[in-house]
Each structure stands twice: as structure tokens, then as C-alpha cells.
A and B are shown apart, each in its own frame.
Chain A
Amino acid sequence: MEKIILKGRPVVGGVTEGEALVSQDALVWSHGVYPPTGRINDVRVKLNGACVKDAILVYPYGKGSTSTSTWMLETFRCGNGPKAILNVETEGLIAIGSILADTLYGIKCPIVDRLEQNPLDVITSGDMVRVDGDAGIVEITKK
């Protein structure tokens, strides 16, 4: 099986592994992800209806309201957050959601961005991805 290793910027630490869920569209967490189920609930997004729970969630960047962070935090509180997040560019809005989940609930969600290749081109939903948020290294096993 083809393996690809990409280096990026470590944003939030932690190491995890899981199945990729890739959104080519920017994701809006506020009103765009339903915390009690973890399902994407946004007709403007192609991935509408998909579940972020336990996924390695890959999307370009965040969009919309500054309350993104507390919508994320609530999704983590409900146990429906992703295992890790890979962005083209991570804004503070996204990073703080993960940092607060760790601070309040001890939930780790490593984040890596600015990978040497665009993760939206390299990673497909269903690929197995290992994320090392401490070193900023992403290992992709194509499905």
C-alpha cells in the first residue's frame, strides 16, 4: 500500500491515527456541525450529513463566526469530536477549540497545518492517516 509522509506546522500536540474525512469546502462549526451527533449540518458544504466523530478531519480553513471555538468545544464535550484536524491554514478559532477541549475535558485533538503538499490533493476520505501533532508529521496510507 502506498504511503505518503508529509511534514507541516505542529499547531496542537498529540499523536493519533484514524480514517480521513476530507472536505474540499471550508467548514463552519457554528450552526454547521451539530454537537449532539457530530454530523455536518450545512447545505452549502458537499460533505453535508457526514459525521466528524473520530475522523481525521481534513479541510482547507475555517469560516464564519468567532463562536466556532465553542461549537467545537461542545462537540468534544458530547464525545463527538474528530480525532485530529489537518488544515491548509489553521486559525486561532480552530486551535483554541482543541486547546480548550484538552484544558476542560482532557480530550486530545492534535492539529497540523501548512503541510508541504496540499492535504486536499493528497488525502482522500477513507485513507488511514497517522497524525503527530508534536512533530508536525502526517503519515498517509492510501486506501
Chain B
Amino acid sequence: MGIKLTQAEEDMLRGKNGEACKVAMGVLLRLGNALGAQEFVRVSSVQCMAHYGSLHDAGLEWLEKLGDMGGRCCVPATQDPASIPFEDWEEMGFDKVYADKQQRLAAAAKKLGEVLTWSCTPYAVGQVPRFGQNIAWAESSAVSYANSVIGARTNRTPAGMAVCVALTGRVPKERMYLDENRAAAVKVNIRDAGELTELDYNTIGIMLGKFAGTRIVAFDGIPESVSNEGLKYLGAAAASSGGVALYHVLGVTPEAFREDPFRGQKPAEEVTWTRRDIQTAQDALTTQNPGEVELAVVGCPHYSIGELIKLADLARGRKIKKGKEFWVYTPFETRNLAERMGLADVFRESGVRILASNCLVISPFPRKYKTLMTDSAKFASYLPSEHHVELVYGSMADCVNTVMN
């Protein structure tokens, strides 16, 4: 019993590839054996975590230790967003001690040879696995997107473990890496819902996580015209309200495009959601006693260039109201694109602030806010408890109309 190692893996375990690789392989082997895996799979891409908000001093010590032992990533390994906006933290008033820790984590990630994208959407900044390819991503919305929308294979790789995968290129073969674990078990029909907006996909994601837990759902009734952003939000929200790492959409996502995701079995449970159900779930995402919105936050997961274009179109010629703010989260690369396209000028003129490669779920606030507004159901499910704020949930256009003249 236990994991059967290849020659290359045994060499790693004996330290042939250096001390850091040896330690990493030891950790993965213990974990793989604990989980009952029979072998490792080789992965082509890793998404690690290197944000101080979750890694704390322990995670920092771990990454620095691996770096000091000479560790180097052997496959492209990105990381999720940082806990500060690297470029604006000082001006915005973030705590210096906290910022220093995040900078140390950045230095550690750089020393390990990580690809410094700092994004929850690695697929939007050049890391695009192919259908069926084994990868090991960490951030839950990226995992859901890779499994569901691309058809690549990854578990929700834990922080602290992902770096071990990056150093060895190996991960225990279990759950999502095994074909038999990817079949749909339950079915959700979307009926009489009219046209589905991006906000609706966010809301449906919340409903999905609550309903499914960790079971795999196949949707019927989501049109093939659904945008990639719609599916991004659906997966992100479902991973925040439940443990969803994979969902299928009949006629849309690759493992349910032509094939039967139930593989000939009858769904163990089948439910139907209508416009009324979606509306009820949508209303519940606004907290009980919101005051006047001071700050609109969008870009969870990170806004795509398509969304930045839409936002610029909505914001053009308008200005943020006095005493209010509008923040948008997007990767460095997408921000650069927005700069080249002149969208960033529109944002500057209207007072919209881009926070590049950062994320509010894992960042402290530079100052106190009472009421926020967002177009992201994932933000809506995390921010009230983590930042003790009231929250209004609405579309991108609602956010613009609320804080802009």
C-alpha cells in the first residue's frame, strides 16, 4: 500500500534535486499516503498562495525556508493576489509592518522562481491549461474555472502544499485527477428565468454552493451564449458558499458539451430554479441594515479586460460623488492593457481607482468603511464577516450609478 514512486520521484526524495525538493517531496508523500493515493501525477502548471493575509508568519517562514534551501519551481507557478496593492499601499495608508511582511513574501516567491502574476485568474494572464491536462491550482475560483470551464484537472490545492507541488512538479493522484470522480451526481434545471445577467450567474453560484456542498452538479438551461465571466462568477460564488471544485453545464462546458456528464446514471437529486428563486437569493446577499454606500468594490474574481471596457463605457464622462470611492481589482497585465487602450485615463478622470493584483477578501482596509457595494457574490459572502461592513449587492451598472454623478 501507499504511493508507488517512479525513479525520478525516489531521486527527489533522496535529495538528488536538492534539499528543498527533498523536503517538498517528503511532505507530498506523507499527504498522498494519508489520503490513500496510489501514485503521483505530473502537473504542468501550479498556482500557489503568497498573500500575507492567509499565510501569516508561519507561511512566510515556510516559503523563506524553502528558498534558503535553494528551492526552485520546476513548472510555471503563479500565485493568488497579494494582500496589499504593491504600487499604492503607502499612499492609501496601509500599515507598514503588514506591508513589509507582504513584500517579504513577494521576495520569497521571486527567489523560488514563481511567475509573479498575483492573480486569482491565471487563465486571463497567460496560464491556460488544455482540456484534460493535470495542473495544481490553489485559489478556489481559479480551481473551479480550470476544472469546469476548461476541463483541466485540479483539486483545491492547499496553501503551503502548492509550493511543494511547484518544486517537484508532482501531486498525489486523488479526487479530481481521477476520471471516475468527475461525473455529475445532481442536476439543477434553470427554468423561466428570462435572460441571465452576470449578476444572476453570481447569485446562481451562491445557490449552487449551498445546494451542492461538495457534490458535482450539472446545469440544464444555461444558454451557450453565457460569457466566460458569467461562468467565472458562478464558480467563484459556489466555491465561497460550498466546496464546489467542478460543475458541468449541459451543452456548454467541455465535459458536458457532447457527452453525458451523468455517464448513464440517473441524477441522485434534481431541482428546478426559476427567476423567483434567483431573486430571493439575490435579495439575501444584501445585508440587513445597509447605510449609504461609501465604497463600491468590483473585480472579484479579477476583472477581465472585457469587463474593464464595460466599466469604462459606464464611467466615461461621469465623476465619483463627494465622499465616495470606486475600486476595481484586476491583474497587473490587464491593468497595463487598460493603460495602453486609454481605459485607465477614463478611470483616472472619473475617479475610479485600479488596485492591481490585489484582493479585498485577503487585505486589511486602510481605513474604516461602514457600507460597501459590490457586483460580486463572492465579495458579498466574505466581506460582511471579514471586514465587519454592511453590504449592498447589485450589478456593475448599479455600482456605477450609486457612487457616481
Residues of chain B within 8 A (CB-CB) of A100 are 27, 58, 62, 160-161
Query: Of A65, A92, A104, which one neighbours B61 at CB under 8 angstroms?
Result: A104
Whether the Cβ atoms of B385 and A31 lie closer than 8 Å is yes
Whether the Cβ atoms of B34 and A67 lie closer than 8 Å is no
A7 in the interface (beta carbon within 8 A): no
Whether the Cβ atoms of B139 and A70 lie closer than 8 Å is no
Please indicate which of the listed interface residues B61, B159, B172, B243 has the most CB atoms of chain A within 10 Å of its own CB: B159
A73 in the interface (beta carbon within 8 A): yes
Whether the Cβ atoms of A70 and B34 lie closer than 8 Å is no
9 CB contacts below 8 A, A to B, read A66-B138, A69-B159, A69-B160, A69-B161, A70-B58, A73-B160, A92-B158, A96-B161, A99-B27
Complex CA distance for A104 and B26, rounded to whole angstroms: 12
B56 in the interface (beta carbon within 8 A): yes
Q: Which residues from chain A sit less than 8 Å from chain B, CB to CB?
A: 9-12, 30-31, 35, 42-44, 63-71, 73-74, 76-77, 90, 92-93, 95-97, 99-100, 103-104, 111
Residues of chain A within 8 A (CB-CB) of B59 are 70, 73-74
Complex CA distance for A12 and B240, rounded to whole angstroms: 27
Complex CA distance for A67 and B54, rounded to whole angstroms: 6
B142 to chain A, nearest CB (A): 10
Q: Which residue of B lies closest to A62 (CB)?
A: B243
B155 in the interface (beta carbon within 8 A): yes
Complex CA distance for A92 and B156, rounded to whole angstroms: 9
A100 to chain B, nearest CB (A): 5
Please indicate which of the listed interface residues B27, B36, B54, B143 has the most CB atoms of chain A within 10 Å of its own CB: B54
Complex CA distance for A108 and B288, rounded to whole angstroms: 43
Query: Of B56, B140, B143, B382, which one neighbours A74 at CB under 8 angstroms?
Result: B56
* Contact (A67, B49) CB under 8 Å given A92-B31, A103-B23: yes
Complex CA distance for A100 and B58, rounded to whole angstroms: 10
Whether the Cβ atoms of B23 and A92 lie closer than 8 Å is no
B135-191 interface with A by 8 A CB criterion: 138-140, 143, 155-161, 172, 174
B130 in the interface (beta carbon within 8 A): no
Complex CA distance for A70 and B158, rounded to whole angstroms: 8
Residues of chain B within 8 A (CB-CB) of A77 are 56-58, 61
Q: Which residue of B lies closest to A12 (CB)?
A: B34
Complex CA distance for A12 and B159, rounded to whole angstroms: 18
Query: Of A11, A43, A103, which one neighbours B385 at CB under 8 angstroms?
Result: A43
Whether the Cβ atoms of A66 and B49 lie closer than 8 Å is yes
